[in-house]
Amino acid sequence: MSDVPAAIEPLLARLCGGAITSDDYVGYFLNEYGEELVFAQRRGEKAARLWHSDADWQMFHIGDHSIRVGAAMDGRGRNCP
């Protein structure tokens, strides 16, 4: 048995179907409704990617101005294409 823990990046990539590597800062969240969210941002980049299980794992590009309380999440932040 190995004392080295399994890397989380391949597990999250398989879950959401996205390209996630060890070069990414990653986060996983399960909300109160059982919906899963996966966040990944390449180190040094301003934009990030967000996948949401309730959106059929569609990827959203997010940046500084992408998410606002009370606004629709369309993934088109000022710093994102």
pLDDT tens, residue by residue, 27-70: 999 999 999 999 999 988 888 999 999 999 999 988 876 666 66
State the Cα torsion 39-42-47-48 to the nearest 10°.
-10
Paired residues of 38 in beta bridges: 28, 51
pTM over 0.85: no
SS3 annotation, 13-81? HHHHCCCCCCCEEEEEEECCCCCEEEEEEECCCCCEEEEEHHHCCCEEEECCCCCCCCCCCCCCCCCCC
Paired residues of 39 in beta bridges: 27, 50
